[in-house]
């Protein structure tokens, strides 16, 4: 009975969204591009609500505030946050005028302060250019390529990357174990492309110098100890310059870009927060219901370089 009810609710929701699209097209006379943008932003909310098991007609202001807090939490630029929330307000306004709802839960939903500055976000094409700029003829070329792929594949903080251990790699399962702020550990899905680059690097690594006490670190400097944050910072600056990118970027830019590209690609907000190792500012134990397989498929399927990699490998 419950599955039938769920199916009916989904059909009703699909009908409401179709009517909303007609409203935007016919009554608002929006262009095709604007329609697509509104639809894409609404889908971010619908994906979030689905994960929370909340129907569109049961949404409260608290639900919308948690969604908005999540956008801020993963580092989405304030202008993008404002655009997404504006589209969502338009949807709930429609639900009221079309008599689906009596009151508008988004009425008191506040947008971000646009003056708040976040680090730059790189486009997928710019990230590709930076990675392609790595000089593979240099001794450290494979290591540098693996560093960039891991940063962008997993959305790691630079300190998490520098401290990554061989004993934290679970390649057969497609995860790595990461120790974040406050010594909190989390499992992070890692892409097939990043796994391949790390495996190539490990061949070079094992032929080089390894200092006593650093045998378990994945990424080593020339002199045999683990790489430093400053070194990764300089590497990214240097490669960005060589790739002709003038944005002011740092290793953290890869983390912000990772989160932005996943959200724009349709990944679930909760899954992205979990990947980044963030605590929601609205709730406490929010990740307990996120199944590991679901988390992995959410991230791997929506990550732009993974989509490209699968096409190159002929994987469907």
Q: Tell me how far apart the alpha carbons of residues 214 and 167 are, in angstroms, rounded to a whole number.
A: 12
Q: Which residue has the tokens 């009517």?
A: 19
Q: Answer yes or no: are the C-beta atoms of 306 and 300 closer than 8 Å.
A: yes
- Whether 252 sits among the annotated catalytic residues: the reply is yes
- Identify the burial level of 32 via C-beta atoms within 10 angstroms of its C-beta, where 0-12 means exposed, 13-18 middle and 19 or more buried: exposed
Q: One of 177, 242, 287, 310 is an active-site residue; which one? A: 287
Q: Which residue has the tokens 């240097």?
A: 238
List phi, psi (to 5°) of 20.
-65, -45
Per-residue CA distances from 28 to 12, 25, 40 (Å): 23, 6, 17
Q: One of 44, 47, 143, 255 is an active-site residue; which one? A: 255
- Whether 157 sits among the annotated catalytic residues: the reply is yes
- Whether 181 sits among the annotated catalytic residues: the reply is yes
Q: One of 143, 193, 278, 302 is an active-site residue; which one? A: 278
Q: One of 143, 157, 270, 305 is an active-site residue; which one? A: 157
Q: Tell me how far apart the alpha carbons of residues 223 and 245 are, in angstroms, rounded to a whole number.
A: 30
Token pair for 182? 């406050």
Q: One of 181, 209, 292, 308 is an active-site residue; which one? A: 181
Q: Answer yes or no: are the C-beta atoms of 147 and 133 closer than 8 Å.
A: no
Catalytic residue numbers, as ranges: 157, 181, 252, 255, 278, 287
């Amino acid at each position: 009975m419950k599955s039938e009810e769920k199916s009916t609710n989904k059909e009703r929701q699909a009908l409401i969204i179709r009517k909303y699209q007609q409203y935007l097209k016919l009554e608002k006379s929006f262009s095709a591009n604007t329609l697509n943008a509104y639809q894409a932003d609404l889908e971010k909310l619908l994906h979030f609500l689905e994960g929370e098991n909340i129907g569109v007609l049961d949404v409260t202001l608290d639900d919308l505030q948690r969604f908005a807090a999540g956008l801020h939490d993963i580092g989405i630029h304030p202008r993008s946050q404002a655009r997404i929330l504006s589209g969502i307000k338009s949807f709930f306004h429609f639900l009221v005028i079309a008599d689906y709802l009596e009151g508008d839960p988004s009425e008191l939903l506040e947008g971000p302060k646009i003056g708040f500055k976040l680090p730059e976000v790189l486009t997928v094409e710019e990230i590709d250019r930076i990675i392609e700029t790595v000089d593979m003829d240099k001794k450290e070329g494979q290591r540098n390529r693996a560093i960039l792929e891991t940063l962008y594949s997993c959305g790691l903080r630079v300190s998490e990357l520098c401290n990554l251990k061989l004993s934290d790699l679970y390649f057969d399962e497609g995860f790595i174990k990461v120790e974040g702020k406050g010594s909190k550990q989390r499992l992070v899905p890692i892409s097939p492309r990043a796994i391949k680059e790390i495996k190539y690097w490990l061949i070079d690594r094992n032929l080089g110098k390894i200092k006593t006490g650093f045998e378990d670190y994945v990424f080593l400097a020339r002199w045999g100890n683990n790489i430093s944050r400053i070194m990764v910072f300089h590497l990214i600056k240097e490669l960005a310059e060589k790739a002709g990118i003038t944005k002011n970027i740092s290793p953290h830019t890869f983390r912000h870009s990772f989160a932005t590209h996943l959200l724009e690609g349709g990944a679930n907000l909760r899954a992205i927060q979990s990947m980044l190792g963030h605590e929601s500012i609205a709730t406490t134990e929010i990740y307990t219901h996120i199944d590991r397989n679901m988390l992995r498929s959410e991230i791997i399927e929506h990550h732009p370089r993974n989509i490209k990699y699968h096409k190159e490998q002929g994987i469907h």
